[in-house]
A = this chain, B = another copy of it.
Amino acid sequence: MSDVELVARKAKEASFVLASASTLVRNNALLTMAKGLESKAGRVIEENKKDLDKGRKNGLSDALIDRLTLDRRRIIEMAQGLREVAALPDPLGEIVEGWTLPNGLIIEKVRVPLGVVGIIYEARPNVTVDTAGLCIKSGNSVVLRGSSSAMNSNRALVSIIREMLKESGLPADSAGLIDSPSREAAKELMKLNGLIDVLIPRGGAGLISTVVENSAVPVIETGLGNCHVYVDLEADLEVAQRIIINAKTQRPGVCNACETVLVHSGIAEEFLPKIAMELEEKGVEIRGCERTRKIVPGAIEATEDDWKTEYLDLILAVKVVDDLDEAIGHINKYGSKHSDAIVTDSYKNSQRFTKEVDSACVYVNASTRFTDGGQFGLGAEIGISTQKLHARGPMSVTELTSAKFVIRGSGQVRD
């Protein structure tokens, strides 16, 4: 048996213990993990330093080095995150629905853990702690496969998590680390049907498409966000401007930032010069369609690729459209089904937009930046699903569960 399979097999065994562990035991494990992280912060920082040194040697950018860095403040934040997850309601055991059949059989649909959650993720080591916390909370084992650049940090974090699980009376194997940076190890994980119940990729477009294309284990696709704001003919232009500036510039590097603005042709000449000026002040590069460039001469020519691109940067694609149909058509064709907004005072158009735009989160008169488990009030999130199966939009502990049927009878057989 390979190392990868061994980790998964042990996680599967542990998952049966976890599934039967009480709310109190699981919550206590999270609080113990939080305390352990804080008291052993020195060990984490020391191991993290090895990753940072190696990263600097390999010429990682300052931004990536910053994402990789664990200092005392960040470790305390991670511990605090665990305490917040512990405080969330327990999703397990909920009786989702139930009924009695004419033959007397009583059917209940009961919320249960998924079993073993696999995570393949990139640089940030805080993902290690966040996801382990969400998985244990929801009664799942977790198998973690981080990136090689954070391997020492992840080893330290997972070893503390495992010690604390044991201290709380839960199996250490509830959290397992794939201790190999090879691509083969990741691919092997993707083939472990029956041991891994769901695989969640967290990272860039390349990682996500590799997992989606190669995994035999069911996948939840997360995170890619080519988000739109459509400014309708009947928009309050001040509101439109506030929303676009917020959605584009408040934090451009995240998946719920706006990448394309669509503007109704009837207000384009009034609106575009104003918004272009503020975008320019904020350092945003505009890539416009032909009609946009007639109104905003400074805009760069947009190509077909621009409509498809998640810039994650201070770049905005702008297109003038003739009506709501064209706007909805554009979003459904080029978008990533993440978050899209209409700015309008037309009731009818708001209704059509929310019904016809095929995205996880559809907004009327608000910034796309709100798509987030914390902002939605769901507690911490494990990712934002852009697929339609199982979960859509921000996923928290409930989305890490399944539901099984329990049927109680008194000897019924089928005719």
Report which A residues bind B (CB closer than 8 A): 16, 19-20, 99, 101, 105, 107, 114-115, 191, 193, 197-198, 212-213, 216, 218-220, 236, 239, 242-243, 245-247, 250, 332, 350, 354-356, 358-367, 369-371, 375-377, 387-390, 392-393, 402-414
Contacts of A245 in B (CB 8 A): 413
Copies of this chain: 2
* Cα–Cα distance between A332 and B409 once the two chains are bound (Å): 22
Contacts of A16 in B (CB 8 A): 332, 356, 358
Q: Is the CB of B407 within 8 A of A364?
A: yes
* Cα–Cα distance between A361 and B407 once the two chains are bound (Å): 7
Q: Is the CB of B409 within 8 A of A365?
A: yes
Interface residue from B356, B364, B389 paired with A409 (Cβ < 8 Å): B364
Q: A16-B356, A243-B413, A392-B403 are in contact. List 14 more A-B contacts (CB 8 A).
A: A16-B358, A114-B388, A197-B387, A247-B413, A354-B408, A358-B404, A360-B404, A361-B404, A362-B404, A363-B408, A364-B406, A375-B414, A392-B405, A393-B404
Minimum CB distance partner of A406 in chain B? B354
Q: Is the CB of A389 within 8 A of B243?
A: no
Q: Is the CB of B218 within 8 A of A414?
A: no
* Cα–Cα distance between A218 and B377 once the two chains are bound (Å): 28
* Cα–Cα distance between A360 and B114 once the two chains are bound (Å): 11
Q: Is the CB of A411 within 8 A of B105?
A: no
Q: Is the CB of B361 within 8 A of A414?
A: no
Q: Is the CB of B405 within 8 A of A105?
A: no
The 4 closest A-B pairs by CB, nearest first: A366-B409, A246-B413, A388-B402, A390-B390
A–B pairs, 15, beta carbons within 8 Å:
A16-B332, A105-B370, A114-B388, A193-B212, A218-B389, A220-B389, A247-B413, A250-B413, A360-B404, A362-B407, A366-B407, A367-B414, A369-B414, A370-B412, A371-B405
